Structure 1
Amino acid sequence: MALRFIAKDPESREDQCPSVWVDESTNDIVVQGWWPDASTVEECERVGSIPDTEGVVRLPARMVDALRRACDVADGTAVR
Structure 2
Amino acid sequence: MHAHHSCAEQFIGIDPETGDHESSTVWVDREKRELVFQGWKPGPELEAECAALELPGHAIGIPDTEAVIRIPARMVDTIRKACDAVERADHVH
Give the alignment's TM-score, normalised by structure 2.
Answer: 0.76
Corresponding letter in the other structure for 1:55:
A
Identity of aligned residues (%): 44
Alignment of 1:72 with 2:84, yes or no, is: yes
Corresponding letter in the other structure for 1:41:
E
5+ residue gaps, structure 2: 1-5, 54-59
Alignment of 1:25 with 2:31, yes or no, is: yes
How many pairs align?
77
1-structure distance, mates of 2:50, 2:86: 25
TM superposition outliers: structure 1 runs of 4+ over 4 Å: none
Alignment of 1:9 with 2:15, yes or no, is: yes
Three-state SS of the structure 2 residue aligned to 1:76 is: helix
Task: Select the residue among 61, 76, 84 that pairs with 1:49.
Answer: 61
Stretch moving more, 16-25 or 48-57: 48-57
Give the alignment's TM-score, normalised by structure 1.
Answer: 0.87
5+ residue gaps, structure 1: none
State the 1:10 CA deviation. Answer: 1.0
